[in-house]
């Protein structure tokens, strides 16, 4: 149950990240490519790793992929903080994206902790 929720939430988050990337690279006032590329890579990688974990070959493979998803989520949090603190995205957008990212981090931490106990 929780795994399908994290799959859905990570995909929705990836869609938001893609739209953020489009805004940062296509907006006439922004044209930020380096940070945009970083957040795009790590932010979309979360869902890809979750999906891969759900098709894992073994419990160890599942846990390893979820750990990678957690690391990517933590990296994404860092890039989002930078984008907000440097003014590339407005406070409201920064808070919203960070809230979603941190929710994913909490969910992934819970999954990783519970699978490490098995």
Is the separation of the CB atoms in 45 and 52 below 8 Å? no
> Phi, psi (5° rounding) for residue 26?
-105, -20
Domains of the chain and any CATH numbers: 2-116 (1.20.1440.60)
Please name the residues in contact with 13: beta carbons below 8 A apart, sequence gap of 6 or more.
43, 46, 47, 100, 101, 104
Question: What is the model's pTM?
Answer: 0.92
Q: pLDDT tens across 68-115, in order?
A: 999 999 999 999 999 999 999 999 999 999 999 999 999 999 999 998
> Phi, psi (5° rounding) for residue 117?
-80, -15
Q: pLDDT tens across 14-65, in order?
A: 999 999 999 999 876 667 889 999 999 999 999 999 999 999 889 999 999 9
Q: How far apart are CA 22 and CA 62, in angstroms?
A: 32
């Amino acid at each position: 149950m929780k795994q399908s929720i994290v799959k859905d939430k990570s995909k929705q988050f990836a869609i938001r990240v893609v739209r953020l990337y489009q805004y940062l690279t296509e907006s006439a006032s922004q044209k930020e490519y380096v940070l945009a590329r970083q957040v795009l890579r790590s932010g979309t990688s979360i869902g890809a790793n979750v999906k891969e974990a759900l098709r894992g070959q073994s419990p160890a493979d599942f846990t390893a992929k979820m750990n990678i998803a957690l690391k990517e989520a933590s990296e994404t949090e860092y890039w989002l903080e930078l984008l907000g603190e440097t003014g590339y995205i407005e406070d409201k957008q920064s808070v919203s994206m960070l809230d979603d990212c941190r929710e994913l981090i909490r969910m992934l931490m819970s999954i990783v902790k519970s699978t490490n106990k098995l």
